[in-house]
């Protein structure tokens, strides 16, 4: 598993207060992990902070699962 995936999952676990083993790459923030719309905004902001990327609103709307987040960050993060 990549370093980015680990860091993304760590943020999700910490932020949503869910068990680490519940968070898989396929997990949907809202449907599987009980996030509300405000949680998803906060997650996006946490990803921006952690990875030093800017996630525009139209891209943020498409980040619905852990995999989506990892994909965006892998494609856009500098390091």
- The residue count for binding other proteins (CB under 8 A) is 4
Confirm or reject binding of residue 30 to other proteins (CB under 8 A).
no
> Site mask, other proteins, residues 43-72, x = CB under 8 A?
--x---------------------------
Rule CB under 8 A: choose which of 3, 21, 38, 79 binds other proteins.
38
Q: Do 4 and 73 touch, CB atoms closer than 8 A?
A: yes
Q: How many residues are listed for the chain in this entry?
A: 79
Active site residue 36: yes
Q: What CA dihedral angle connects 13, 17, 22 and 23, to 10 degrees?
A: -30
- CB-wise, 49 or 74, nearer to other proteins? 49
Instruction: Note whether 18 and 37 are within 8 A (CB).
Output: no
């Amino acid at each position: 598993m990549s370093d980015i995936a680990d860091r993304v999952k760590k943020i999700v676990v910490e932020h949503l207060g869910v068990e680490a083993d519940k968070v898989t790459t396929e997990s949907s923030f809202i449907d599987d992990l009980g996030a509300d719309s405000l949680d998803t905004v906060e997650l996006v902001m946490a990803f921006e902070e952690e990875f030093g990327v800017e996630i525009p609103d139209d891209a943020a709307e498409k980040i619905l699962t852990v995999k989506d987040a990892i994909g965006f960050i892998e494609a856009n993060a500098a390091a």
